[in-house]
Structure 1
Amino acid sequence: MPAMLNWSAAAEATKSLTDQWKANEPGGAVIGFDAEGIRFAQCGGVENLNTLAPFSCHSVVRYASVTKHAFCAMVLAHPDLISLEDRLGDHLPELQEPLASVTVGRALDMSGGLPDVRECLSLLGLSVYTETQAKDLMSFVARQTRLNYPAGTEISYSNTGYRLVETVLERKGAFFRDFIRELAHSADASFDAPDVWNDAVAGLVPGYWHTGEKWQLSAAGLHISASGSLTGSAESLTNWLRALMRGEGRLAGVLEKLSANRPMADGRMNGYGLGIRQSRLGDRLFPGHGGSHPGYKSYFLLDPETQSGFVVVSNREDTNGYRIALLGMAALLDLPLPTPSTALQDGLYVSESGPDWLEVKGSVVTSLDADETVYEESNGWVSSQSASQPVRLKMDGDNIIGEVGHAPRRYLPVTPQTETMPNSQWVSPEGARFDIEDGHIVMGVGPVRHRMPLKPLGDGRYLFTLYDGPWTKRVCLHQLNENRLQLVLNRARMIEYFSR
């Protein structure tokens, strides 16, 4: 028997968070819906700080990575052009190994080990604001000869697979923008998919981030790709998701295929499907996905059993759409929320070898600069309950053991270090360079020359913090030998530099 739906409790639960969107600040919209239609809609804040027009369910935003499931629907709709079992190199002959042997399915389900282009650019010293074009980015990927990890052995979020598969389809004459406009029209939705940030989009509201002192307009220079190009309103996304759950006509069985678990190389199942991840409440799983562009946040969470769901969109950087949707679903179905855990001892940890590091602060675990809240499990274990960044850890004496991204990990506490890197100059085959000067890494030129202190972790590993507009990134510098090192972030672990 379908669960009883308590829409008043769901509305009350989400309102406790949306009420924080003040009338003179950027805001957002939250919609609760089922097969009968919209059950409640809450809006707060403004869609534009210049006009102070209130945010509404019709305000058009960037959905960011909520795009992914819609693009995967396009992939499934073209079996004559591409298969999930195809090697990327079968369609993109310029790719080198091992990237060429990554399958389309692994490129889309986050198990391919493909380095994320945007984080690669950060490690080359290029700002989030630096403009890049699709052709040049494809050439950059084609020059790469390393994965983050062997395909199928881990899960780590990356947008690059979507960029590559979109390139395949475009070379065969199939374009995401055309596909989604047509499909959305049949679902009574209105979508667009611009290629770059500065493309004109009807009704698009600005996105904002807070400097700590004031709100500022967001921007990004990266060619967006079908990993995150979709735009639309909260209402349009709701109508689309209702049609997807109904599964009629061209959408028959699509949601089930998108949200199905996929196997890792060792046969274990991965909770990240094709642009959709599974979230747990109690003993049940709910398909959904989030999105994050500078100044925009979005999330959706579905319950196909009751044909209900939640949509969250926002034009402010600090919105936690996942938290809002999860609160709504828990209240709607009277399910328990997971309990955040502090079973891990606070501190900074590092692997016995290699660049892997971990920081614990309360119930937040940061692995290679990717943050996840961890929740209580039995026998001292904690889990992120995240399909896109799975973490399962426990204390082992003073050490931490378990898995990150489904891969085994063992971390040791970082002890005080006196190790320093000698002053030196380093260059990348891509033309980037930096200097080591008196315990600092110095990147950039002129007024954007940044001097960042290096924190030693031992055994030729150091952390430094890179500030880039709305983003703060902690990078691991890992010295491989006297003349070679790599800079490492969670989504890009293969950018190398050589001593001059």
Structure 2
Amino acid sequence: MFDADWAAAQAAAEEELERWDEQGPGAVVLGIERGRLQLLAARGRAECGGAALDGTSVFRWASVTKHVLAACLLESGVLPLEMPLGAALPELAPAPAAVTVAQALAMQGGLPDTRESLTLLGFHALDRTDAAALLAWSAGIDRLNAEPGTEVAYSNGGYRLLEAALARRGVVFAEWVAARAGRLGLGMHASEHWSDPVPGLVPGHVVGQTGWSHGAQGMHLSAAGSLSGSAEDLALWLADLMPRPEFARMSRPLPLASGQATSYGLGLRLLQIGGEMVAGHGGAQPGYRAGFLCAPGEARALVVLSNRDDGDATGIAARVWARMRSTRLRRDAVGTWAPPGLYAAPGGDLWAEVKPGAISVRDAEEALFAASDGWVESAAPQSMMRLRCTDGAIVGEMFHKPVRLLPVSAGNGEAEAPELDGHWIGDGALLGIRGTRLRWGAGPRATDVALTPLGNGRWLFPAMGRRICLTRLAPDRVRLSLARSRVVEYRRL
């Protein structure tokens, strides 16, 4: 049993929120214990200058949805954890069909992320796509990011497939959510698309050169991130879930196939705060941030929901929880641990950029913190890293795999001509290369960008706000990759 200083937590929450303009978008922090409200702090507005946010304000929960899908799957019992996905979705290609339900839930399936795969084919974030077409297209992809059970790497793709598999067995996620929400008196709601009406939903805000604007996305919202509700709704849902056996199973991390321990379970991750391992999850969608932590033994939950892109809901939750427990996160800011710049593995598509206090791996940034004996590490169980700089190279572990990354020298690309001239096609998408320039997109969306060499047949190029890695597999075959999708291939025409 761990004592809770809710007064200290209240003060910590208010300190976290006070840095924001009271008239702009903000966040709500809410804590409960044994069904009783213990903490409520709110700052900001539903719209700039509009109604004030409070515990009943409705936000998108983004990836917080994942643990709800896991609860639905476990309660229904129609998809055994050891069952391969192909048993419920026979149209799947052999590689994804062999991934088990447990591996898909625990980010161990190597399944490519749907959104990032679409990016690699030139789809913009606002381009609308529907569930049936996405499933049919995904089913035909017979490649994985990694061998199942060998790494924990975040991807939404498995949850989309699991939602479809549940429906094939007669369990429709949106209907299950509506039934649970009705029983508990909650406003928890599952949407199909961003444009679907959600009662009371506050707009999400992203900041640009001219100030705040509303976030949006066009891709169908799967059970990887389709839920919305208030902070009160989420806290009461957790209060009902925590005593159930499903929660205990979800919060038990799934080891890798080798038996190596992880800190990610079934839609839940475990974070160490002081001497306590705390279950929770976070989520992000354009203009929204969400996060929660909970301790089932004390029936205690802390929820943070924000309608701004820089809301850092998971960080706020962790810092407030630490103050509540009169402990600290054991996270010391990292200094200069490696020379800033680009690094790449000797082969394959693994690359990284070292930044002050962070590292971007395949264009996904993670904060780093000082560990012992000169090591640095991440705090996210779904993107575990433990690294150090030795003789100019970055060595250690990423995603539970050993890594060695070498600095990318400024001249290594000058001696390596791309030899990629021509037009390339991948699943109907086209790109053109001439010398060290790549043309991406068509018509008014077309952009002409430079290829930045990483060495050994790999280049980076910017597209749609991302840095994509192009890897030459053969003279007339290349692969494009991002952090969550490493399977999209193009062939020279």
Task: Give the TM-score of the pair, scaled to structure 1.
Answer: 0.94
Higher mean C-alpha displacement, 167-176 vs 143-152: 167-176
Quote the residue 1:462 is aligned against. 459
User: Shift of residue 409 of structure 1?
Assistant: 0.8
Quote the residue 1:453 is aligned against. 450
Quote the residue 1:277 is aligned against. 269
Q: CA RMSD in A?
A: 1.5
> Compared with structure 1, are the counterparts of its residues 283 and 348 closer, same or farther at alpha carbon in structure 2 (3 Å cutoff)?
farther
2:338 and 2:388 in contact (8 A); partners too: yes
Q: Does 1:264 align with 2:271?
A: no
Quote the residue 1:123 is aligned against. 120
1:109 and 1:274 in contact (8 A); partners too: yes
Counterpart of 2:38 in structure 1: which amino acid?
Answer: R
1:341 and 1:363 in contact (8 A); partners too: yes
Q: Distance in 1 between matches of 2:84 and 2:397?
A: 28
SS across alignment from 1:459: coil
Quote the residue 2:61 is aligned against. 63
Q: Distance in 2 between matches of 1:134 and 1:145?
A: 19
> Which of the numbers 185, 189, 196 marks the counterpart of 2:186?
189
Quote the residue 2:98 is aligned against. 101
2:35 and 2:236 in contact (8 A); partners too: no
Between the two proteins, the alignment pairs up a number of residues equal to 488
> Which of the numbers 334, 345, 350 marks the counterpart of 2:344?
350
Note the 1:281-296 alignment, pairs <5 A: 281-296=273-288
> Which of the numbers 239, 244, 248 marks the counterpart of 1:242?
239
> Compared with structure 1, are the counterparts of its residues 241 and 429 closer, same or farther at alpha carbon in structure 2 (3 Å cutoff)?
same
Q: Distance in 2 between matches of 1:14 and 1:474?
A: 35
User: Shift of residue 72 of structure 1?
Assistant: 0.4
Q: Distance in 2 between matches of 1:450 and 1:15?
A: 45
Q: Distance in 2 between matches of 1:89 and 1:4?
A: 46
Q: Distance in 2 between matches of 1:152 and 1:171?
A: 25
Higher mean C-alpha displacement, 374-383 vs 221-230: 374-383
Q: Distance in 1 between matches of 2:162 and 2:373?
A: 42
Q: Does 1:316 align with 2:314?
A: no
> Compared with structure 1, are the counterparts of its residues 265 and 308 closer, same or farther at alpha carbon in structure 2 (3 Å cutoff)?
same
For structure 1, the 5+ residue unaligned runs are none
Higher mean C-alpha displacement, 152-161 vs 175-184: 175-184
2:75 and 2:246 in contact (8 A); partners too: no
Deviations 1:439-483 (A, max 9, x none): 22211112211222221111111112223xxxx322111111221
Deviations 1:106-141 (A, max 9, x none): 011100000001000000010010100111101111
Counterpart of 1:495 in structure 2: which amino acid?
Answer: V
Quote the residue 1:479 is aligned against. 472
Note the 1:412-427 alignment, pairs <5 A: 412-417=406-411, 418=414, 419-422=416-419, 424-427=421-424
> Compared with structure 1, are the counterparts of its residues 406 and 426 closer, same or farther at alpha carbon in structure 2 (3 Å cutoff)?
farther
SS across alignment from 2:56: coil
Note the 1:38-437 alignment, pairs <5 A: 38-49=37-48, 52-79=50-77, 81-245=78-242, 247=243, 252-337=244-329, 338-342=331-335, 343-417=337-411, 418=414, 419-422=416-419, 424-437=421-434
Counterpart of 1:490 in structure 2: which amino acid?
Answer: A
Quote the residue 1:494 is aligned against. 487
User: Shift of residue 224 of structure 1?
Assistant: 0.8
Counterpart of 2:105 in structure 1: which amino acid?
Answer: L
Q: Distance in 2 between matches of 1:254 and 1:340?
A: 36
Counterpart of 1:271 in structure 2: which amino acid?
Answer: S
1:421 and 1:436 in contact (8 A); partners too: no
Counterpart of 2:484 in structure 1: which amino acid?
Answer: R
Higher mean C-alpha displacement, 355-364 vs 488-497: 355-364
SS across alignment from 2:122: coil
SS across alignment from 1:447: helix
Task: Give the TM-score of the pair, scaled to structure 2.
Answer: 0.96
User: Shift of residue 438 of structure 1?
Assistant: 4.5
SS across alignment from 1:77: helix
Deviations 1:161-205 (A, max 9, x none): 111111111122211111112223333422110111111111112
Deviations 1:266-320 (A, max 9, x none): 0112211111011112332110101111111100011234332311111111110
2:88 and 2:169 in contact (8 A); partners too: no
Q: Distance in 1 between matches of 2:458 and 2:4?
A: 52
2:189 and 2:198 in contact (8 A); partners too: yes
> Compared with structure 1, are the counterparts of its residues 37 and 440 closer, same or farther at alpha carbon in structure 2 (3 Å cutoff)?
farther
